[in-house]
Amino acid sequence: MGIISSGVGIGIFVGVPSIQHLINRAGWRMTYVVMALFIPLSIVFMAILFLKKRPGTISSNSLEEEIVPSVIGDSLAVDDRWASRSWTLRQAVFTKPFCALSMCFFFSGSITQSILAHHVAFFVDQGLEALFASYIVGVTGIVSILGKLLWGTLSDRIGREVTYTLVIFCSTCGMIFLIAFTILSSPCLPFLYAVFFGMGYAGMASLPPLITADFFGGRAYGRIFGTLFILNGIGGAFGAWFAGFLYDQVRSYLPFFVIMIVCGLLACLVLWIAAPRKIRRVPGKDKT
């Protein structure tokens, strides 16, 4: 999952400075036209290039034969009764872990999408040029590539909760550096923000699929994870809007950064309450 999701970081690293440069040269209207043409065509091109064969279909009988024994015979299971259950979406939504993960993903979505949507505006508000601010965003993207590889591997060794706590610590440090930049205006603070928040963003993007699989692995995993990530999307939409709304009221991002730090602590808390370690050990803690 870390390797797969690292593509987002590459897109941030390449795309944000390139788009900002195009805005400076041609204006934002022409930039939108170029994006509207280039992005769909590039996706079609990659689909034609890489998807040479249609993915094979699996019958329901063969799917059950493959999945059910692997769930029941899971050597990493701590709670055998939970792990051996064939979860449906209807059953999952009424469980305590599902509610806890919903809140965790909502808060994490609020943090990542709001900061990513507003950090260029924040740096411009602090006197930096837009193009230079976009380079800082690019650093965030390249750091997130390494972060996704690190967090995915680390969570398989030391556990989801401990890894997620380190993720929240990194994102919190990143936001503290933004707050400090409004006071000190040190040129190194934006880059420290990019490194730490890039690491935090990487974990909040790569760990949720793994955490969800610890609880609800099986044939309904896609529906369950998709439903949970609706809450992540709602959090992201609300956070991006709320950041702009609050800035318009107080003409400062500082109160919003403080609120997002609190949201990060709440996301970490509810994940520990959900306790994936009580359902399934990670491979690095397998004692069998």
177-215 pLDDT, tens per residue?
999 999 888 889 999 999 999 999 989 988 999 999 999
**Residue range 255-275: mean pLDDT, rounded:** 95
Residue 284 pLDDT level (bands cut at 50, 70, 90): confident
**DSSP 8-state class, residue 79:** S
pLDDT at 286: 65
Ramachandran angles phi, psi of 87, nearest 5°: -75, 140
d(CA 217, CA 223): 11
pLDDT in the model for residue 163: 95
pLDDT at 2: 62
Terminal Cα-to-Cα distance of the chain (whole angstroms): 25
pLDDT digits (tens, 9 = 90+) for 159-178: 999 999 999 999 999 999 99
Q: Which domains does the chain have, with CATH numbers?
A: 2-50+86-275 (1.20.1250.20)
What is the band of 55 on the pLDDT scale with cuts at 50, 70, 90?
A: low
* pLDDT given for residue 233 in this prediction: 93
What are phi and psi for residue 77, nearest 5 degrees? -65, 135
Q: Which residues contact 45 (CB under 8 A, 6 or more apart)?
A: none
Q: Percentage of residues in the chain with pLDDT exceeding 90?
A: 48
Round the average pLDDT of the chain to a whole number and report it.
85
Picking from 114, 118, 99, 116, the residue whose alpha carbon sits closest to that of residue 236 is 114
**Model pLDDT for residues 75-118, shown as the tens digit of each residue:** 677 877 887 788 899 999 999 999 999 999 999 999 999 998 89
